[in-house]
Amino acid sequence: MNSLPLQPCPEATHENARILIIDDEEGNIRVLDRVLKKGGFKNIRSVTDSRNAIGTYAEFNPDILILDLKMPHVDGFEIMDQLKSLQPDDYLSILVLTAQRDHATRIRALDSGAKDFLDKPFELTETLTRIRNMVDVRLLHNRIKIQNQNLEKMVRERTRELEKTRMEVIHRLGCAAEYRDNETGMHVIRMSHLCARLAAEIGMSEEDCQSILVASPMHDVGKIGIPDEILLKPGPLSESEWKIMKLHPIIGAEILSGSSSNIMQMAETIALTHQERWNGSGYPYGLHGEQIPPVGRVVALCDVFDALTSERPYKEAFTVEKSMQIIEQNSGIDFEPHLVEVFKRVLPHMVEIAQQFADREISNTLKIFRSGAES
């Protein structure tokens, strides 16, 4: 597999490295400034009042901080503690200035975040060498950080693209079944949005609502396994033909089974139970009441509402009023009564969804396919 291309990192050099000096002694700052400029560093800033240290650090965002430990108002230890709180995940490149050479002071400085030491008075060659070494480490860290950010960005983009592709495959799988016995695939889109809205209204989690939006279009995928002479039959089905038609929930569940994906597991449940009825008269297993999973109950109601309000080859579209009258007559028989009441409460929103995803003109290719299949 080819490696992912990296975006080029900005050129990082000693010349453009940002160096911040915090020391209350002007003399030390002048010496360091002279040494640094002689060594090729140009982007240098200094602070003599340690109370301004954090604000200057945040504004300047230095690559290396040269920090005196013993200062009035706020000492170097306090500054390092504040920086660790402000930037807990960043690499703080801190070079400590100190005339104190005792072991305890050095250990405390290292614990506080110091990476190296410069002893006062400065030895100029050593000073420049230590600063260069620390800048090298910081610039390498910056480069790796930028590369990691680029990689993370590309992974996020690839993940979004994979998710988009996965959602498209799922949608097309749902449409595949609808195209065999319906004028367009818009039914599954309308029905899925109806399901997501109804699921939200009855208190399902945001994650479950998103899952039902994606999973519900596959509710009739099992119709792929039903012979054309039964699925496309223009008249009533015989008893033997109806027995075969009733197998489509089981076929759909088998097609969708075995996945570790939560969405596919929900889709399997929906495919298997969306034809069950509240009073136990549905199929394939005659489940009743709360034996039917909530997602199955939601899909059953939304599927019927869209079927009633949509034009089909065998019927005209019913009005919303007529469709709701039929649904209410079957409350407690086909549908959970509470769901019917909730659906009525948000009916204006359901009508908006139906209008937003109204059927498009079927393509000529699909017309030819359907006319050939039906003949």
Same domain (yes/no): 300, 215: yes
Asked if pLDDT for residue 237 goes beyond 70, the answer is: yes
Count Cα atoms within 13 angstroms, Cβ side, for 144.
Answer: 8
Same domain (yes/no): 120, 261: no
Same domain (yes/no): 219, 133: no
Same domain (yes/no): 188, 142: no
Residue 8 falls inside a structural domain: no
**Of the candidate ranges 127-131, 249-253, 351-355, the one whose mean pLDDT is the lowest:** 127-131
Same domain (yes/no): 190, 68: no
Looking at residues 18-29, what average pLDDT do you find? 88
Same domain (yes/no): 259, 316: yes
Same domain (yes/no): 144, 223: no
CB 219 within 8 A of CB 299: yes
Residues 6+ apart with CB under 8 A from 120: 28, 97, 98, 99
What integer pLDDT is reported at residue 309 of this predicted model?
A: 93
Same domain (yes/no): 354, 212: yes
Same domain (yes/no): 142, 78: yes
Number of structural domains the chain divides into: 2
Largest CA distance in the chain: 103
Q: Which domain holds residue 336?
A: 182-374
CB 96 within 8 A of CB 117: yes
pLDDT in tens, 75-108: 888 898 888 877 776 777 888 887 777 788 888 8
- Going by pLDDT thresholds of 50, 70 and 90, the confidence category of residue 291 is very high
Boundary (domain end) residue, out of 153, 171, 206? 153
Phi-psi region of 280 (alpha: psi -120 to 50; beta: other; left: phi over 0): left
What integer pLDDT is reported at residue 186 of this predicted model?
A: 80
Residue 364 falls inside a structural domain: yes
Residue 11 falls inside a structural domain: no
Residue 363 falls inside a structural domain: yes
CA nearest neighbour of 113 among 146, 149, 88: 88
Asked if pLDDT for residue 306 goes beyond 50, the answer is: yes
CATH number at residue 125: 3.40.50.2300
- Going by pLDDT thresholds of 50, 70 and 90, the confidence category of residue 363 is very low
Residue 6 falls inside a structural domain: no
What integer pLDDT is reported at residue 266 of this predicted model?
A: 95
Residues 6+ apart with CB under 8 A from 13: 139
Boundary (domain end) residue, out of 153, 168, 190? 153
Same domain (yes/no): 294, 242: yes
pLDDT in tens, 161-198: 877 776 677 666 666 666 665 545 688 889 999 999 99
Residue 266 falls inside a structural domain: yes
Same domain (yes/no): 149, 192: no
Tokens of 278: 């509240």
Arithmetic mean of pLDDT over the chain: 84
Three-state secondary-structure class, residue 144: helix
Boundary (domain end) residue, out of 134, 153, 172? 153
